[in-house]
């Protein structure tokens, strides 16, 4: 089973990298670009085959390592 974890900054948290991308898109001539936010996408191969147990394990991984829950949100998606 494979898990995809999306990690993004919470609303209101300054995202300088996203802002730099937005400005550069404007400089390149792309019009109508509003706010840009950059987050992380982590894909994890798991030996676990039970979806419930896999989700619980990935939830624990997010809490303990993958996300900084003070400033970041995460969402978990299981594939297969």
Q: Which residues bind a copy of itself (CB under 8 A)?
A: 6-8, 18, 21-22, 24-25, 28, 30-48, 57, 60-61, 64-66
| H or E stretch covering 59 | helix 51-61
CB of 69 to a copy of itself, least distance (A): 16
CB of 51 to a copy of itself, least distance (A): 14
Q: Which is nearer to a copy of itself, 29 or 70 (CB)?
A: 29
Euclidean distance between CA atoms 65 and 9, whole angstroms: 15
Indicate the burial class of 79 (C-beta count within 10 angstroms; 0-12, 13-18, 19 or more): exposed
Q: Which is nearer to a copy of itself, 8 or 70 (CB)?
A: 8
> SS3 of 15, please?
coil
Q: In the 8-state DSSP scheme, what is residue 10?
A: P
CB of 21 to a copy of itself, least distance (A): 7
């Amino acid at each position: 089973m494979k898990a995809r974890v999306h990690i993004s900054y919470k609303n209101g948290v300054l995202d300088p990298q996203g802002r730099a991308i937005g400005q550069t898109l404007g400089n390149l001539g792309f019009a109508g670009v509003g706010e840009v936010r950059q987050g992380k996408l982590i894909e994890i191969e798991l030996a676990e085959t039970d979806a419930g147990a896999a989700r619980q394990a990935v939830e624990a991984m997010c809490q303990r390592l993958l996300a900084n829950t003070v400033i970041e949100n995460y969402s978990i998606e299981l594939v297969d």
